[in-house]
Structure 1
Amino acid sequence: MKRVAIVGSQWGDEGKGKVVNYFSKNYEWIVRYSGGANAGHTIYIDGKKYVNHLLPSITPNGYSKGFLGAGMVIDLEQLINELKILEADFPGISSKIYIDYETFLVLPWHKEEDELRESMRKNPIGTTKKGIGPAYTDKVSREGIKLYNIFDEKLLKERLSEIYYLKNKIYSGKIKSTDKDVFEYLLKVKRDLDKLNVNFASAVKMGDVFRSTSVLFEGAQGVLLDLDFGTYPFVTSGSTMAHGVSSVGFSTFELDKVMGVLKAYTTRVGSGPFPTELFDETGGKIAKLGNEFGATTGRPRRVGWLDLPALRYAKIRSGLNEFVITKADVLDGFDEVKICTKYDVEGKIKEIPDSSYDFYKAKPIYETLKGWKSTNDVNFLKYMAFIEEFTGVKINYISYGPKTEEMCTKNNMIMRIKG
């Protein structure tokens, strides 16, 4: 496979970072095409934990390189911090990172806006307050800064002055970061990026490079948080699906495979509908065993049983044709597990939502399956077979722990099955 996209099949936090890191050694380029610093991808290298919010989940001591695409909104200060952490253990890693000139920047005032807007809402959305929403808002309303602006100081000053004038009017002087503050901030981060030897590039020129080698596209969050097709308004501000590769100049028709990552159960951070959410002792137990806390915010994740109608919805929306299942080991030792197979939506039985609105009205209909002692148990194989039969998507890889190497193919797992 030369061009593969890996996306989240649920509400994010499925373990995409580890999965991308596992496969990255086989690809020359790892491309982040959407999202911002509100997405935390956790990887383990030689037993040490790293949390990347913006960097692609490359293997730092391998040959692969990373590209940050125009569909992202980038907090350059956060990016620099991540690079410095990796540089301490892998000197020269920054020279393997390329940023598209067209990427949009998250600026200090975007974070202020995020807090202000969330505090003003009657019903808060549950934003991470990383400035992602306001940055995407400025992108759409043509009031923002792209990476290439920082290479023209005269134009940058003019742009920032115009933008600050408008923001000052809208927020009645509540924005503390002035245009001069942001200008100095951007000059500083540019100097830092230059010192680290980060590369700047155009996806137009990189297109021929990408098409002549192997590329792994790394998605952010999950399909159910997509701006267009997720549980709006409790979504992120960009594309979380494979279609987002268009921001790097690719079509989904050019992809050889779209892999969806799913947990053996379901989690969600923040507000919004969650049909299979558990509020009992079982939910608390799964959350504790799975260490379900957001990699970016540290907030406890909401926990529920696996939701098959949601997975079928994700399959159709994002063109998923293979699954990787993670955290199956968290359910080790349960006598039985439940799995949602259908929704009751205002009296109508549905195996797949018609639109994201159905998630708000859905009442889960469960089937109960026998639990497993370990992922080498035949009952876990039956659990996966149940998922495959319902969704029509094969599970080819299983993650059974947090470390990158704690992955195996389903065939290898079958060889270890105990009846």
Structure 2
Amino acid sequence: MQRLAIVGAQWGDEGKGKVVNYFSKDFEWIVRFSGGANAGHTIYVDGKKYVNHLLPSIQPRNASRGFLGAGMVIDVEQLINEFETLEADFPGISCRFYIDPEAFAVLPWHKEEDVLLETMRKEPIGTTGRGIGPSYTDKVSREGLKLYTLFDENLLRERLESIYHMKQNIYNNRLTVSPEDMFKYLQKLRGELERLKVNFTSAVDMSRVFRSTSVLFEGAQGVLLDLDFGTYPFVTSGACMAHGVSSVGFSTFELDSVYGVLKAYTTRVGAGPFPTEDFTETGEKIREIGKEYGATTGRPRRVGWLDLPALRYARIRSGLTGFVITKGDVLNGLEEVKVCVAYDVDGVVKEVPSTSYDFFRAKPIYETVKGWPTTDHINFLKYMTFIERETGVEIDYISYGPKTEEMKTRNDLIINI
């Protein structure tokens, strides 16, 4: 049975949600294996826009089902809001989703902490304020709350009292929600999930099911925001690479393919190194045409040229076997397009960063290629071929618009030319 992982090949916001939604028609299970509500996956169904922050990007009109894995940190209130949005147009769809009770909960306390910590930092890291970092911190420090705790009232009260005691000592009694109010809040959310008939099932129980059918693994953010190998500390707090499928009980060796999604240019949200950032009117024009504003926060994204050293780094780190390129149409009409082909790192030319530290010291070395009037033009095909030659990874699919069906294969492009 086919198993495909789709991850972001840059700093996130590459259009993974639409890409996953396109491929999901061929898979029975769509699995989110990491991340939280700090990034949005935008999909279109019958011309209507949906932004999922937590839910896997399943096809509402077919029989595909979604699974939220233990590597996620889940804001249950946000999750319910997403269910309700889909239920309004697709009644009963919530019962097609399964949640691993081993996943961790993002609490209102975590959101308070997120804001407090950002104000305490000498150099803010650009957090979204959604509580993701503090929830992952609690997970690692063994102070977190797993979702199965919601179904054991005595254990839930005990854990909330313990967590609250510690946090109030750390933050000098600045948290505003009492343990009892938190208990009532979580019990209400549990009741909402039960009303919606959402399933709670572990990856252990699903192991045979997943291995007897087709599974599409949906990553969060992008490789360069991965906690271990991204531009630390300007990263997210979870796994953004294909190895994150281990949280659902899979090995990367069990994957048939790993697709990296990349834009024809590069964007980044928040602080941190960005070697190819463009501060000219061209960068501003690309931002406006590409509607480069965060799906979660609305923040304007930083815009730059395509970064091949970063893509080579992503290929190695996440074992990418194919690319899906998006937003080539945003660059339509430019006479010339710049591409970063290497870095100057302290006087040494590098085609691939050795460590994430190289991104902080990198000075881009550019080449210029001819632009294209449309993505059906020979110059866009040449641009793709240039990327393939430089990275060693073929571009199998091209996205040319926001709608799910606005996808074509490389062969489609060649025929149109």
Q: Which amino acid aligns with 1:356?
A: S
Q: Deviations over 1:346-365 (max 9, x none)?
A: 00000000000000000000
Q: Which residue of 1 aligns with 2:273?
A: 273
Separation in structure 1 between the aligned mates of residue 229 and residue 188 of structure 2, nearest angstrom? 38
After superposition, residues 53-68 of structure 1 pair within 5 angstroms as 53-68=53-68
Q: Which residue of 2 aligns with 1:125?
A: 125
Q: Deviations over 1:270-300 (max 9, x none)?
A: 0000000000111001001100000000000
**Displacement of 1:209:** 0.3
**Displacement of 1:48:** 0.3
Q: Which amino acid aligns with 1:80?
A: I
- What SS does structure 2 have at the residue aligned with 1:25? helix
Q: Which residue of 2 aligns with 1:338?
A: 338
5+ residue gaps, structure 1, are none
**Displacement of 1:341:** 0.2
Q: Deviations over 1:383-406 (max 9, x none)?
A: 000000000000010000010000
Q: Which residue of 1 aligns with 2:201?
A: 201
The alignment status of 1:367 with 2:367, answered yes or no, reads: yes
- What SS does structure 2 have at the residue aligned with 1:386? helix
TM-score, scaled relative to structure 2: 1.00
**Displacement of 1:182:** 1.2
Separation in structure 1 between the aligned mates of residue 219 and residue 390 of structure 2, nearest angstrom? 24
**Displacement of 1:233:** 0.1
**Displacement of 1:268:** 0.1
Separation in structure 1 between the aligned mates of residue 69 and residue 376 of structure 2, nearest angstrom? 40
Separation in structure 1 between the aligned mates of residue 128 and residue 355 of structure 2, nearest angstrom? 25
Separation in structure 2 between the aligned mates of residue 77 and residue 152 of structure 1, nearest angstrom? 19
Q: Which residue of 2 aligns with 1:147?
A: 147
* Identity across the alignment (%): 73
Separation in structure 1 between the aligned mates of residue 251 and residue 182 of structure 2, nearest angstrom? 35
The alignment status of 1:180 with 2:180, answered yes or no, reads: yes
- What SS does structure 2 have at the residue aligned with 1:134? helix
Q: Which residue of 2 aligns with 1:356?
A: 356
TM-score, scaled relative to structure 1: 0.99
Separation in structure 1 between the aligned mates of residue 34 and residue 182 of structure 2, nearest angstrom? 24
5+ residue gaps, structure 2, are none
Separation in structure 2 between the aligned mates of residue 150 and residue 50 of structure 1, nearest angstrom? 28
The alignment status of 1:234 with 2:234, answered yes or no, reads: yes
Separation in structure 2 between the aligned mates of residue 183 and residue 167 of structure 1, nearest angstrom? 16
After superposition, residues 166-315 of structure 1 pair within 5 angstroms as 166-315=166-315
Separation in structure 1 between the aligned mates of residue 401 and residue 85 of structure 2, nearest angstrom? 24
Q: Which residue of 1 aligns with 2:47?
A: 47
Q: Which amino acid aligns with 1:408?
A: K
Q: Deviations over 1:23-72 (max 9, x none)?
A: 00100000000000002000000000000000000011110000000000
Q: Which residue of 2 aligns with 1:412?
A: 412
Separation in structure 1 between the aligned mates of residue 218 and residue 383 of structure 2, nearest angstrom? 27
The alignment status of 1:85 with 2:73, answered yes or no, reads: no
The alignment status of 1:386 with 2:381, answered yes or no, reads: no
Cα RMSD for the two superposed structures:
0.5
**Displacement of 1:177:** 1.3
Separation in structure 1 between the aligned mates of residue 334 and residue 182 of structure 2, nearest angstrom? 53
The alignment status of 1:12 with 2:19, answered yes or no, reads: no
Separation in structure 2 between the aligned mates of residue 202 and residue 249 of structure 1, nearest angstrom? 10
Separation in structure 1 between the aligned mates of residue 160 and residue 144 of structure 2, nearest angstrom? 8
Q: Deviations over 1:172-220 (max 9, x none)?
A: 0101111112111110000000000000001001011000000000000
Q: Which residue of 1 aligns with 2:326?
A: 326
- What SS does structure 2 have at the residue aligned with 1:325? strand
**Displacement of 1:112:** 0.2
- What SS does structure 2 have at the residue aligned with 1:56? coil
- What SS does structure 2 have at the residue aligned with 1:312? helix
Q: Deviations over 1:295-315 (max 9, x none)?
A: 000000000000000000000
After superposition, residues 71-110 of structure 1 pair within 5 angstroms as 71-110=71-110
Separation in structure 1 between the aligned mates of residue 180 and residue 121 of structure 2, nearest angstrom? 29
Q: Which amino acid aligns with 2:319?
A: G
**Displacement of 1:122:** 0.7
Q: Which residue of 1 aligns with 2:3?
A: 3
